[in-house]
Amino acid sequence: MADYTQIRDRLASAKKVLVGLGEEWKKADTEAYDALYKLLKDKDYFIVTMATDAVIYDTRLGSAAETAVCDGQKELELSCPSADEDTMALMDKLFPVREQQKKKPDVRQDRIVAPCGNETWRQCSCGCTKDIWEPGEIPEDVCPHCGASLTGNTIEASPYIEEGYLPQWDRYVRWLAETLNQDMVILELGVGFGNPGVIRFPFEKTCFFSQKTYLYRINRLFPQVAAELEGRAEGIAQSSLEWIKAVSRA
């Protein structure tokens, strides 16, 4: 039986947490997402999800509220509460990086990327345009460019318009580059071999090259880990949904 307390302790001491949600998380219950939120809420994390149902965005993980990991702009403002406009203008000249930091706050929904798409977003079924629409944006559900029916913006579409997730993927890649030589825990939850090039193989590679990383692979049928990761990876044959609930309760 897994030592859930040890897992919690390892998560608590980690500087970064990378999470992969596999096919098992499609239509996952709210309790599982709440358990994951409980473990991640105070951490510097990123989630890669293969679930195309967009349920995660209706949970606290998909909130537009700012995360607990403050950006430099917020920290600066808190340390200089009485700074006047002239002082702030001077700071902008001396430290122009602030301009980049204050463009957009760090919100939880920006810590999620769904490379397999989002069923609630709509695209042209013929792929005549790169446009992607949000639910209800095109009431007739017909492409305004060619008249073809709209379909879900997922890998099931032919062709799949990938532009919907690419901005978030760039954000993920930048975050991942900062994890090298950092104490990191990888939670690979319910990822099978349906599309192993999205999470399973890349996460193994990340763990291999980042020597301070520990990988938990939770999968009822395929918990095996590569021999090269011995001592830094653990496979657990269990439902990832039940496992995350158990860890959060430990």
Considering the domain architecture, whether residues 99 and 126 belong to the same structural domain is answered as: no
pLDDT for residue 96: 53
The percent of residues in the chain predicted with pLDDT above 90, rounded, is 77
Judgement on whether residues 97 and 17 belong to the same structural domain of the protein: no
| Cβ-proximal residues to 219 (8 Å cutoff; 6+ apart), any chain | 22, 24, 188, 190, 191, 192, 235, 236, 237, 240
38: how many CB neighbours lie within 10 A of its CB? 15
**Does one domain contain both 152 and 177?**
no
Q: What is the percent of the chain with per-residue pLDDT over 70, rounded to a whole number?
A: 83
Examine the domain organization and report whether 179 and 247 are in the same domain: yes
Residue 74's domain comprises 70-105
- The total of structural domains in the chain comes to 3
Same domain for 40 and 57?
Answer: yes
The whole-angstrom separation of Cα 102 and Cα 196 is 36
Same-domain check for residues 132 and 190: no
Q: What pLDDT shows up at residue 247?
A: 96
State residue 79's pLDDT score.
35
pLDDT of residue 104: 58
Could you tell me if 74 and 54 lie in one domain?
A: no
Residues of the chain with pLDDT under 50: 1, 70-83, 91, 97-103
Check whether residue 171 and residue 156 sit in a common domain.
no
